Amino acid sequence: MLNNQVDLGLIIHENRFTYADKGLHKIVDLGNFWETKTGCAIPLGGIVVNRNLDQDIQVKLNRVLRKSVEFAFANPKSGLDFIREHAQEMEEAVMYKHIELYVNQYSLDLGVEGRKAIDILFKLAEEKDLIPKISKNLYVSQH
């Protein structure tokens, strides 16, 4: 129990590297659960675009975001002030561990494996009636 307030919680972001130092105990690692269940990478987040926008704008947005991630990979300290301002854990080593785990090759290109993970996530959500059936392609296609 942390601060004698809560008996149970979901640990996310950089706290997954520090929870044990706070006397907290893991019941289940949802990332490991997903990977064991599906054999896929964890689809943690995504960038969405309104499909009512012109296709050229969708593709340009995709291209600009990719260039931004490429810049961040080439200049890893460029965003340090921003990251430090928004990080829950201020230790720089923890921040970089977090970044290395979540910003990876899938951030640049989902590839076959990344798309498979997202497709399975949506399929499972459809099967459980959590979302309506998807009838359109989920991905922005390049010209």
Could you list the active site residues?
A: 13
Intra-chain end-to-end CA distance of the chain, in Å: 53
Q: Which long-range contacts (CB under 8 A, 24 or more apart) does 74-77 make?
A: none
Rounded distance, CA 20 to CA 93, Å? 16
Q: Where are the alpha helices (DSSP H) in 24-91?
A: 30-38, 55-74, 80-86
User: Are residues 103 and 127 in contact, defined by beta-carbon separation less than 8 angstroms?
Assistant: no
Count CB atoms within 10 A of the CB of residue 41.
19
